[in-house]
């Protein structure tokens, strides 16, 4: 069975534990957080808990032996393989064990794979004996909603502008976002965190305004966009910054295309602002920028963004900085 992260947590809180969980996907921090929540719900003692984090191939036999051991003075046993690199030999050993797993053991396997291959023997065995869960990267709107919900649980209100600022600057990795949210909640000193307070808690500087790149792209200002992009890429790990910049660029073009189609459908301006979560002041010129951009051009621009994303993810030899600069040049040309 394949479950979503929220469904996993619901099961665990209800005291339901399967024989195996295969936790895959790119969101490493979300997987680790889920594992911590499983431990909190399971509450294993020292006799009934083992975690393996070293070379999985070397320890595969010991892991299977541990999983096959009955619990001691307890109803269940928890065995965790936290090294996300599971080589072929170990995968085969785990798949063989899962054909007839011990019902009183919960085996948790963390995998670094982005998605699960239905033809993979281990994934199939895990799905049949327990559950598979893929922790995919959050979308921007999902990350913003989760930030606001987390703030509410902490007894505070995070404004839409604050959530947008945190995601625009920190990306959608939940581990990073959670840290930035904690900073923002402490920094505000009040029950409501405004957009300005969120930016200040991030160490905001005018030169690194997290919304600047999107607005410059929407304006199709070539020189300024390239200059800001280069500054942006120099402010952190090149790969992380590259995909963060690409996300901002793609989102900027996508919003313009959505707005253009809404205009063609005679949707009122205030309704467009609500639907796209635009700010009445910061985005006051948003619709005006669309007048010189026909829908066909915006569709082509969005395809260009998606092509660049596909190339960067599939062709690891490419220089992300060069590819992004080519993208910006293409978007701003003849606009």
Give this prediction's pTM.
0.56
**Per-residue confidence band for 206, with pLDDT thresholds at 50, 70 and 90:** very low
Same fold across 2-134 and 207-335: no
> Token digits for 206?
């005018």
Mean pLDDT, residues 3-7: 86
130 or 175, higher pLDDT: 130
Are 215 and 164 spatial neighbours (Cβ–Cβ below 8 Å)?
no
Place of tokens 């895959």: 24
Q: Is the pLDDT of residue 37 over 50?
A: yes
- Short-list 211, 184, 216, CA closest to 200: 184
pLDDT in tens, 226-237: 988 888 888 777
The pLDDT of residue 105 is above 90: yes
Both tokens of 89, joined, read 């030999």
Rounded CA-CA distance 159/152 in Å is: 11
Kindly list the distances between the CA atom of residue 324 and the CA atoms of 250, 299, 310, 317, in Å, as whole numbers in the listed order: 11, 18, 12, 14
Q: Does the structure show a pLDDT above 80 at 238?
A: no
Q: How far is CA 225 from CA 43, 60, 214, 220, 326, in A?
A: 52, 51, 9, 8, 12
- Spatial distance between the Cα atoms of 49 and 202, rounded to a whole number of angstroms: 39
Higher pLDDT, 239 or 128: 128
For the chain, what is the largest distance between any 2 Cα atoms, rounded to a whole number of angstroms? 74
For residue 290, the 8-state DSSP code is G
315 has pLDDT over 50: yes
Return the CA Rg of the chain: 24
Class for the domain spanning 207-335: mainly alpha
pLDDT band of residue 165 (cuts 50, 70, 90) is confident
pLDDT of residue 207: 42
Please state the rounded mean pLDDT for residues 59-69. Answer: 93
29 touches 135 (CB < 8 A)? no
Residue 204 has pLDDT above 60, yes or no: no
Domain 138-204: assigned CATH number: 1.10.8.60
Q: What is the pLDDT of residue 173?
A: 78
**pLDDT per residue over 111-139, tens digit each?**
888 778 778 899 999 999 999 999 887 88
pLDDT of residue 209: 60
In the predicted model, what is the mean pLDDT of residues 169-178? 78
Distance CA 102, CA 61 (A): 15
User: By the 8 A CB rule, do 104 and 71 touch?
Assistant: yes
Most confident range, picked from 33-37, 61-65, 175-179, 281-285: 61-65
Q: Is 50 helix (H, G, I), strand (E, B) or coil?
A: strand
* 24-33 residue pLDDT tens: 887 777 888 8
Split at pLDDT 50, 70, 90, the class of 205 is: very low
pLDDT band at 168 (very low <50, low <70, confident <90, very high): confident
Q: What is each CA distance from 80 to 58, 111, 218, 268, 318, in whole angstroms?
A: 15, 12, 47, 54, 37
Q: Where are the domains of the chain?
A: 2-134, 138-204, 207-335
Q: At what angle do helices 222-233 and 238-264 cross, to 10 degrees?
A: 140
3-state helix, strand, coil in the chain (%, to 5): 60, 10, 30
Q: In which element (H, E) is residue 110 found?
A: strand 105-110
The CA-CA-CA angle for residues 112, 129, 109, to 5°, reads 25
Pick the CATH number of 2-134 from 3.40.50.300, 3.30.70.360, 3.40.50.11540, 1.25.40.10: 3.40.50.300
pLDDT of 77 strictly over 50 = yes
Residue 128 has which token pair? 């049949």
Residue 194 in tokens: 């405004």
């Amino acid at each position: 069975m394949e479950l979503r992260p929220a469904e996993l947590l619901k099961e665990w809180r209800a005291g339901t534990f399967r024989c195996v969980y295969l936790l895959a996907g790119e969101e490493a921090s979300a997987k680790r957080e889920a594992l911590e929540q499983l431990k909190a719900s399971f509450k294993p003692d020292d006799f009934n808990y083992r975690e393996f984090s070293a070379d999985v191939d070397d320890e595969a036999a010991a892991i299977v032996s541990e999983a096959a051991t009955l619990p001691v003075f307890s109803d269940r046993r928890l065995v965790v393989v936290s090294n996300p690199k599971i080589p072929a030999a170990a995968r085969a050993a785990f798949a063989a064990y899962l054909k007839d797993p011990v019902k009183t053991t919960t085996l948790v396997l963390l995998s670094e794979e982005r998605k699960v291959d239905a033809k993979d023997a281990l994934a199939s065995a895990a799905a049949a004996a327990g559950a598979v869960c893929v922790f995919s990267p959050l979308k921007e709107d999902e990350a913003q909603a989760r930030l606001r919900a987390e703030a509410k649980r902490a007894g505070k209100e995070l404004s839409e502008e604050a959530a947008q600022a945190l995601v625009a600057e920190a990306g959608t990795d939940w581990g990073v976002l959670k840290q930035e949210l904690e900073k923002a909640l402490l920094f505000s000193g009040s029950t409501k965190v405004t957009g300005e307070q969120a930016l200040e808690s991030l160490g905001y500087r005018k030169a690194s305004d997290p919304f600047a790149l999107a607005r410059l792209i929407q304006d199709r200002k070539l020189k300024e966009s390239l200059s800001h992009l280069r500054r942006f890429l120099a402010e952190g790990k090149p790969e992380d910054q590259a995909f963060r910049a690409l996300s901002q660029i793609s989102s900027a073009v996508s919003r313009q295309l959505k707005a253009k189609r809404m205009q063609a459908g005679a949707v009122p301006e205030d309704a467009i602002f609500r639907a796209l979560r635009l700010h009445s002041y910061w985005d006051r010129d948003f619709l005006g920028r669309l007048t010189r951009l026909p829908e066909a051009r915006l569709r082509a621009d969005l395809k260009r963004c998606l092509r660049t994303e596909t190339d960067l993810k599939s062709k690891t030899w490419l220089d992300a900085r060069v590819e992004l600069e080519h993208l910006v040049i293409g978007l701003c040309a003849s606009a």
